[in-house]
Structure 1
Amino acid sequence: MEIYLKQAILHLIDREAGDPVFSQVPLDLSAEYIRDYLTKKIQKLSSAQTKTGRLVADSVVSRMLATATDDFIAFSEAFVKHWYQMYQGSEDAPNSDVFIVLYEEDALAQVAFIKVNYKEAYTHFTDLNEEGLANRLILNRAILAGKAQKPDEGMTIDLKTLDYELIEKKYQFSGDKRYYFSTQVIESVPRPSLDDHLSVIKKAAKKMSEKFETPTYDVLANIQEAVYDTIEETGTLDTTEIAQKVFKENVSARMAFQEEMTEKGVIEQTPLVKEVKEISEKKFGKQKLKLSNGIELIVPLDVYRNPDLIEFVNHPDGTLSVTIKNVEEIVNRL
């Protein structure tokens, strides 16, 4: 995705100090390290844990968004104030920095809310006093995670369609651990993430394998392959197609699986984050197998599908053999 940063601002959330410290000056986007940091953080908001949805047109946040391009600084402060009203009610929500970013993605106007929690780290400090030059070790309690890490929480919003992608965390409110961002900040019920859906699909598949006496490892491996294939083909999680690929001629198992999907609220073609194909390639492009004897295998899908390269053999006594074939070289990576 092509990201063009237009404006960005940083607000500080130090809960011990009280209200947020609002910047009155945007970040300098002519600095390459700032552009690089923010661009990477926006990209990391699309992940297998990201939820998707659409804001209600007359919600508080939707009304705020109407001013994002005309008065960006005022908008950013209003947005963070609204968010902080909910956030400050938590007993365990940490201090953080919040970036508000106005940008274009493939020429479409977007706003990003990026929250990066503080972490502790050690650094040096050079002090010159009457005794001379002293190099000291100090503990900094407000260090931000690097650009390669995804934000602790955040969202992107399309200013035209109000479609959003959201990463949210549970924090404790009055002793109850719960999500607050979707329920209180944006007042929207998002669709479950890819990981959420996959968890439901795997549980249902395992249940079907036990009911219809099919090897669990085989069904789960086929599920991963089917999920990968349907995302590559359609950009969605097509449960009908997954059932067809996994259970093939077993009509009873196929129908039972789809009934389980309906019961658990997984819709037939689930829309996912924009970068889902790239995420799928990394997450599902390899089968990760752990054998009962302690051997672990990571097998690329194209190899897993090829019986000339790897073969799984079921024996009458219930054991299983794995044969790896046509290997030209073995490299030991310590």
Structure 2
Amino acid sequence: MLDLYIKRIIIHQFSPNDTELVLAESPIEITPRLDEYFRKKLSKVFSDEAKRGYFDTENVFISHIGNDLMESSVKISKLWKEEFVISEDQKTNDLVFIQFDKEGQEYFAFLRIALKDSLVHSLGNSQHPIQLSQNNLPSAAQTPDEALVINRSSKQYYLIEKRIKHNGSFANYFSENLLQVQPEQSVKKSIKMIEDTAQKIAENFNQDDFNFQGKMKSAIFNNLEEDQELSPEKLADQLFDNNLTARLTFVDELKEAIPEPILVSDIDHSRQIKKLENQKLSLSNGIELIVPNNVYQDADSVEFIQNPDGTYSILIKNIEDIVNK
């Protein structure tokens, strides 16, 4: 969990019954349990799922965030309600506004948390011990339904948003209507786009085999872990080093969605590292291998041999010990 210092929390509520706001009169008392809960919620926003960007000086939304958290929270809650009220799927939502510090810088956060109904066991009623409890907060480990976190100094923002359904279609009302920004796509989505684009180009140039898949996985892993960024140009050089046309095509197809290298140093990208750290090979004879990337790339540890008949052999070298798990 990130090292965050929460200074102030204000919680308003939106009721779907009359589509009205129940506005808080004062900040809540921050107990140790609540501090831990909301720090975990905020940590979920600094993740590979967040869309990122910067507010420009002329943005209308950012002008509503002043030094008075209560005043800002009321303004933004009313603006949010005007946009959200058209949604066809409405629930009771807590609108949580948080003032906090991270690495010595001040941040503003707006979290939308949909409340849930849960069954609880009540010891005081022997006839009906299982009762329905309403307006329960979800677990701390769950990502907020929507979230906006802003660095008050740099105006950089981190955004988790969900599309709402209205008149049979879906819209990113949060970024498009409320914030009026065009954020970068999330790191998670960018990596998926890079993988899909690389695979398509490899297929077009007859390079799409397990060797290329392993090469791609290793390249993305190394760039994330060592460089803390993903550059389409650099990945093109690594994936298609012997084919200029493939390199140029790869960069060209990604330039609109990923015009600049994707930085990951400011977010938790451990899930992507975990996903990419091993090569998982499924062989036609039923054998499955999990090979760490550093071993996979080491010719003194693993060698893949293509036989004259087109089959493959895998030579695993220098094994000191074998344990049957």
TM-score above 0.5, yes or no? yes
- 2:199 corresponding residue in structure 1: 206
1:163 to 148, 156, 165: 156
294 and 172 in structure 1: CA distance in 2 versus 1, 3 angstrom threshold: farther
76 and 268 in structure 1: CA distance in 2 versus 1, 3 angstrom threshold: closer
Distance in 1 of aligned mates of 2:141 and 2:21: 26
96 and 331 in structure 1: CA distance in 2 versus 1, 3 angstrom threshold: farther
CA contact (8 A) 1:230 1:236 kept: yes
Distance in 2 of aligned mates of 1:8 and 1:305: 49
Distance in 1 of aligned mates of 2:314 and 2:134: 50
134 and 161 in structure 1: CA distance in 2 versus 1, 3 angstrom threshold: same
Distance in 2 of aligned mates of 1:273 and 1:143: 34
- 1:27 corresponding residue in structure 2: 28
- 1:53 corresponding residue in structure 2: 53
Q: Secondary structure at the match of 1:150?
A: coil
Q: Secondary structure at the match of 2:153?
A: coil
**Pairwise CA distance, 1:187:** 0.5
The question of 1:89 aligning with 2:73 is answered no
Gaps of 5+ in 2: none
**Pairwise CA distance, 1:242:** 0.8
Q: Indicate the larger mover: 295-304 or 226-235.
A: 295-304
| Offset from partner CA, 1:117-143 (integer Å, 9 cap, x none) | 233322122446xxxx66610122432
- 1:197 corresponding residue in structure 2: 190
CA RMSD across the alignment: 2.5
- TM-score where L is the length of structure 2: 0.88
2:106 to 106, 109, 133: 109
| Offset from partner CA, 1:192-220 (integer Å, 9 cap, x none) | 11122122211221122112211343323
Q: Secondary structure at the match of 1:99?
A: strand
**Pairwise CA distance, 1:324:** 5.0
Distance in 2 of aligned mates of 1:240 and 1:26: 48
Distance in 1 of aligned mates of 2:283 and 2:29: 53
Q: Secondary structure at the match of 2:20?
A: coil
Q: Indicate the larger mover: 229-238 or 143-152.
A: 229-238
Q: Secondary structure at the match of 1:23?
A: coil
The question of 1:261 aligning with 2:262 is answered no
- TM-score where L is the length of structure 1: 0.86
86 and 212 in structure 1: CA distance in 2 versus 1, 3 angstrom threshold: same
247 and 90 in structure 1: CA distance in 2 versus 1, 3 angstrom threshold: same
Distance in 2 of aligned mates of 1:320 and 1:218: 11
| Offset from partner CA, 1:62-85 (integer Å, 9 cap, x none) | 1111x2x3x211211211221121
CA contact (8 A) 1:52 1:193 kept: yes
CA contact (8 A) 1:99 1:114 kept: yes
- The one-letter code of the counterpart of 2:137 is L
Gaps of 5+ in 1: none
